[in-house]
Structure 1
Amino acid sequence: MTTSFYDDNAETYAARDRKPPTARLDAFLAALPEKARILELGCGGGQDCAYMLSKGFDVTPTDGSAELARQAEKLIGRPVKIMRFEELSAHEEFDGVWAEASLLHVPRADLPGILTLIRSALKQDGVFHASFKAGTAEGHDSFGRYYNYPSMEWLQTLFDAGGWRDISINEVDGGGYDGKPTRWLHLATRK
C-alpha cells in the first residue's frame, strides 16, 4: 500500500515544494570525511541527494518505488538503485547512511533487522541519520501509508539494544506531505 502510493503519485510527490533539510544535512556531512561514500535510503524526489552531491560527496541513492526513483533520476542526472530496505547487502562500504523520512515506513517488528543491515553496510565509526514521525503506536495516514510512529524512548531503547553509540534524538515540530502538523524525531548515531 505504501509503495503503491509513491508509485501512483511519484510525479506530484517529487515535484512538491520541498527544500532539503540543510541544517541536518550539514551536520551529517560535517561528521564525515571529505568525499565520503554515502548510502541514501529512500531518496524520494532526489533533493537531499542533489544537495550532498553538490557538496562533493559520493552518494548512492536508493528508493523502494521504481516511479519515484525515475523522478529522482531526472533531478540528479544519475541512476537511482531501486531497492527495498531488506535487500541491503553491503558490508562496511559506506561512511554514512542518510535515511530522511524513509525508515518510518518499516513495520516496528522488522526495524531491528533493517537496522542490523544498515549497521553492517557502514564502515566502523560510520555515521547514520534517520527521521521518524513521533507517536505511540503504528498506524496509517490519510493516504493509506503505513508509519511506525515511535516515541523517543522506544527509539532510544531500540538503538541502545542494537549496539549503536553516540545516539542523539531531537524532537521538533514540523509538517509532512499530508499538510498536517507533525512531531518529528531526528536521530543521529554512529556504528
Structure 2
Amino acid sequence: MADESTSSFYDDNAATYASRQRTLPIRRLDAFLSQLHPGSSILDLGCGGGQDSAYMLSKGFDVTPTDGSPAIANQAESFLKRPVAVLRFEDLDEEEAFDGVWAEASLSHVARATLPEVLERIRTALRPGGTFHATFKAGEAEGHDRFGRYYNYLSAELLSEMLGDGGWHNIVISEGDGTGYDGKPTRWLAVRTQK
C-alpha cells in the first residue's frame, strides 16, 4: 500500500468492498491463464474479495491469494475457505516460486517512486519465463480519489518504460474504458509480460 489513508480505507470498509457486485475480468483471466501450463502456481497479489482467485482455482491452478489489508484478507479467507496471507507488495520476498503473478487493480496503489522496486520483487518471485499480469488506472499525475485512496495513475509510455528498464520481455499493454469502486468512468491499462 502506498499510504495510511489507502490502508485505512480498505481496513475500515473491508466487508462492503469485498462483497460488492463486481464483474469478473474473464477475458483478462483467460488470456493470462492461457500463458500457463495446467496446474501452474499463481500468486494473486492484492486479491481483494478473492473472486479472481476462486476463478483460477476452479480452473485447476495452484493459487496463493494475498492482500495487504488484514481485514480484506479475512474477507477473502471467508469467501475462499482457504488461508489468505497478509502481504504488502514491498514485503514480497520469494525467489522463483511462481509461474504466474496476477495483480488486478492492486499495484495502482504503489507509490510511483517505489513501483520499480516492487516490480523487481515480482520478477524475482517468478520462475524463468513466468507471466505477470497487472492493471492500472491510467493518468498523468499521481493523486488520491474521493475515498482518500492513493493512485499512481500511469501512462502506457511510463509503464512500458518501467517494465523495459526492469528487464521484462514480451510487454503487451492495452487500454480500455471501465469503472472502479467509485463508480466513475475510468481509463484502465492492462499489461501482460514475461520474466
Q: TM-score, normalised by structure 2?
A: 0.97
Q: Which residue pairs with 2:130 in the alignment?
A: 126
Which of 167, 170, 183 in structure 2 is aligned with 1:179?
183
Which of 44, 61, 66 in structure 2 is aligned with 1:62?
66
Superposed structure 1 runs of 4+ greater than 6 Å apart: none
SS at match of 1:163: coil
Q: Which residue pairs with 1:156 in the alignment?
A: 160
- TM-aligned CA deviation for residue 19 of structure 1: 2.2
Which amino acid is the alignment partner of residue 129 of structure 2? D
Q: Structure 2 CA distance, aligned partners of 1:95 and 1:163? A: 17
Q: Structure 1 CA distance, aligned partners of 2:18 and 2:44? A: 16
Corresponding position: 1:18 with 2:22: yes
Q: Which residue pairs with 2:148 in the alignment?
A: 144
Q: Structure 1 CA distance, aligned partners of 2:126 and 2:161? A: 20
Q: Structure 1 CA distance, aligned partners of 2:80 and 2:48? A: 11
Q: Structure 1 CA distance, aligned partners of 2:61 and 2:185? A: 32
Q: Percent identity?
A: 64
Segments of structure 2 that go 5 or more residues without pairing to the other structure are none
Q: Aligned residue pairs: how many?
A: 191
Which amino acid is the alignment partner of residue 117 of structure 2? G
Give RMSD over aligned pairs: 0.5
Segments of structure 1 that go 5 or more residues without pairing to the other structure are none
Q: TM-score, normalised by structure 1?
A: 0.99
CA contact (8 A) 1:171 1:184 kept: yes
CA contact (8 A) 1:39 1:96 kept: yes
CA contact (8 A) 1:19 1:47 kept: no
CA contact (8 A) 1:92 1:121 kept: yes
Q: Structure 2 CA distance, aligned partners of 1:19 and 1:173? A: 14
SS at match of 1:25: helix
Which of 85, 92, 99 in structure 2 is aligned with 1:95?
99
CA contact (8 A) 1:132 1:186 kept: yes
Corresponding position: 1:3 with 2:10: no
SS at match of 2:113: helix
Q: Which residue pairs with 2:46 in the alignment?
A: 42
Q: Structure 2 CA distance, aligned partners of 1:53 and 1:176? A: 24
- TM-aligned CA deviation for residue 74 of structure 1: 1.2
Q: Structure 2 CA distance, aligned partners of 1:13 and 1:119? A: 29
- TM-aligned CA deviation for residue 169 of structure 1: 0.4
- TM-aligned CA deviation for residue 45 of structure 1: 0.4
- TM-aligned CA deviation for residue 103 of structure 1: 0.4
